[in-house]
Structure 1
Amino acid sequence: MTLALLFPGQGAQSPGFLHKLPQHDAVQATFDEASAALGLDVLSLDDAEALRSTVAVQIGLTVAGVALSRALAHDGLVPQFSAGLSVGAYAAAVSCEALSFADALHMVRKRAELMESAWPSGYGLSAIAGLSETQVETLADAHARDGGERVYVANVNAPRQIVVAGADTALEAFAARALAAGARKAQRLAVSVPSHCELLTDAADRLSAWARDIPFRAPRGVYVDNRGGRPLHSAEAIRADLATNMRYTVRWYDALTVMIESGASVLVEAPPGQVLTDIARERYPDVAALAASNLPLERLAAIVRRRLGEEST
């Protein structure tokens, strides 16, 4: 079995994304379970107004990821590899049975509340295309030396697709510097907190303490982490990854590479969006990468079965 499920992070959301999930018993059961666990109607979390909240976005993404993984599992498609970008790692942990869905929801809500309260406004993320991590770090150092407010490398999504975190004014000034240095694009993302940098150290410490008693289990299959882009095999290692990933750089490209080098050859990205699919297709064109958002569930399942069947013949 060489199926990998990929779960996107904050920024992938769009209005109505939960309502666009497949009409499937497993999806409805996931909505019902999430609503009961959180004491609210999760389908109220995906309108444009609700999505202004980091808490609503992160809960919604977790629900969407788990709903898709359960629908595929209902059709007999269980991944060997599970990995998620940033908050997507929580759905990945549920997918590989390292964490219960209810516990994941409570931990995600706490995570998002801590992130939002740490930096309630004036901060966020920008994607820089066309420069390497080293080039971006060099520019960030120069920006700080010149008196600018520090920006941080938050995500390495591909060798020349880097996300930076910081204050709004710093991101605006850094975008101009990056474009002048040869970047193809510098674009703000739909994220209102400075994720994956030292600005969230205190929030990560508080989440670690809060999550100390949440039960984790060794994963079924392979869970690939954010911080090191490597497989984690123990319950405690996965707990630490989820609790602290908000303050460390997301090394998504390393995670993607280790899955493919370990044998993953059919990749399915959970809704919403197709950012992770596009990265995989660009960097690894021989691998089948599919965005669940773009295909009816029955067709998606049929394509995955066919691709997996072709490999085994």
Structure 2
Amino acid sequence: MSLACLFPGQGAQSPGFLHRLPEHEIVRATLDEASATLGIDVLALDSAEALQSTVAVQIGLVVAGVAHARALAQAGLTPQFSAGLSVGAYPAAVCCGALAFPDALRMVKRRAELMESAWPSGYGLTAVSGLSETQVETLANAQDGGERVYVANVNAPRQIVVAGADAALETFATRARAAGARKTQRLAVSVPSHCELLTDATEQLVAWSRDIPFRSPEGVYVDNRGGRPLYDGDAIRADLATNMRHTVRWFDALTVMIESGATVLVEAPPGQVLTDIAREHYPDIAALSAATLPLDRLAVTLRRRLGVD
């Protein structure tokens, strides 16, 4: 039996999500370390007003993910697999020992600042349910006039996220529903993530992160861009620095972990989307959302599922 820790991306946040983390000494220490590293009170980042900022959201998700992973590790639950969707790749890299937490915080802060400054308003993401990647790509390529949309995430075979300008996303959503999509939903993300619109921002982050120390992971780190295991620190650096530019192939990453032996999945707070995807497509695999269970009960449940004392 093997444990995989999954870390959600932007859109999972909601007001107060950092305040809802478990009352635990490791969680408090992680919050204090983050505040000291960044020179701010990180608990101020999860108000409804603060969450209008991409910077606040992305930092908060990294803090929540690392706090969760550290609490599980203290309970003797260290994952064999680590993977995160988009910005979730940062706490995944910390979780497997490839990147120090303070460096992850500084790097993700710079990432979010570059994303926000590249497209400060008028852009975002829309989720499309019920169409395949090929169908979505065909619709995107056929969109006439104005700005185009791009395939940003392949979360599941028929759960695709597209990126682009507000007007283009609205037009695309109408066309997608006419083409048979069950649902289209604008996400709580205010930048056009995972497409060529962030090429310049990616190049700047690659240069900025060149001197950040990375190490080989303990266990298996699965990347966003190719949905494959990475075993080298420099390869993980490249994944983190460039994933905002490339389509996230989350379903490939999930499939690789399961095919490689992951039998129990736990999603870090505040997410449940990755848990729901796993339950729908791999019902024989145990998938749990940490956001829905008290920490002590989660630990007991994970041990039972893993068959450990």
What range describes the TM-score normalised by the shorter chain of this pair?
over 0.9
Q: Distance in 1 between matches of 2:284 and 2:305?
A: 12
Q: In structure 2, the residue corresponding to 1:285 is in which secondary structure?
A: coil
Q: In structure 1, the residue corresponding to 2:221 is in which secondary structure?
A: strand
Which residue identity does 1:236 align to in structure 2?
Answer: D
Shift in Å, 1:273: 2.5
- CA deviation map 1:185-244 (0-9, x unaligned): 011000000000000000000000000000000000000000000000000000000000
Question: Which residue in 1 is equivalent to 2:61?
Answer: 61
- CA deviation map 1:39-81 (0-9, x unaligned): 0000000000000000000000000000000000000000000
Question: Which residue in 1 is equivalent to 2:136?
Answer: 136
Q: In structure 2, the residue corresponding to 1:156 is in which secondary structure?
A: strand
Residue number among 150, 153, 156 corresponding to 1:155 in the alignment? 153
Counterpart check, 1:49 vs 2:49: yes
- CA deviation map 1:112-164 (0-9, x unaligned): 00000000000000000000000000000111xx2242100000000000000
Q: In structure 2, the residue corresponding to 1:45 is in which secondary structure?
A: helix
Question: Which residue in 1 is equivalent to 2:34?
Answer: 34
- CA deviation map 1:156-178 (0-9, x unaligned): 00000000000000000000000
Give runs of aligned pairs for residues 1-313 of structure 1, distance below 5 A: 1-143=1-143, 146-309=144-307
Structure 1's unaligned 5+ residue stretches are none
- CA deviation map 1:96-115 (0-9, x unaligned): 00000000000000000000
Q: Distance in 2 between matches of 1:138 and 1:173?
A: 14
Which residue identity does 1:267 align to in structure 2?
Answer: L
Q: In structure 2, the residue corresponding to 1:246 is in which secondary structure?
A: coil
Structure 2's unaligned 5+ residue stretches are none
Please, what TM-score do these two structures have when normalized by structure 2? 0.99
Q: In structure 2, the residue corresponding to 1:5 is in which secondary structure?
A: strand
Which residue identity does 1:230 align to in structure 2?
Answer: R
Which residue identity does 1:73 align to in structure 2?
Answer: A
Q: Distance in 2 between matches of 1:148 and 1:118?
A: 19
Q: Distance in 2 between matches of 1:288 and 1:81?
A: 14
Shift in Å, 1:19: 0.3
Q: Distance in 1 between matches of 2:202 and 2:254?
A: 24
Q: Distance in 2 between matches of 1:136 and 1:259?
A: 26
Q: Distance in 1 between matches of 2:265 and 2:41?
A: 31
Q: Distance in 1 between matches of 2:286 and 2:223?
A: 21
Q: Distance in 1 between matches of 2:290 and 2:11?
A: 17
Which residue identity does 2:120 align to in structure 1?
Answer: P
Q: In structure 1, the residue corresponding to 2:86 is in which secondary structure?
A: coil
Does structure 1 conserve the Cα–Cα contact (< 8 Å) formed by 2:7 and 2:271? no
RMSD: 0.9
Q: Distance in 2 between matches of 1:196 and 1:174?
A: 17
Q: Distance in 2 between matches of 1:38 and 1:222?
A: 29
Which residue identity does 2:124 align to in structure 1?
Answer: G
Q: Distance in 2 between matches of 1:227 and 1:110?
A: 20
- The count of residues paired between Structure 1 and Structure 2 equals 309
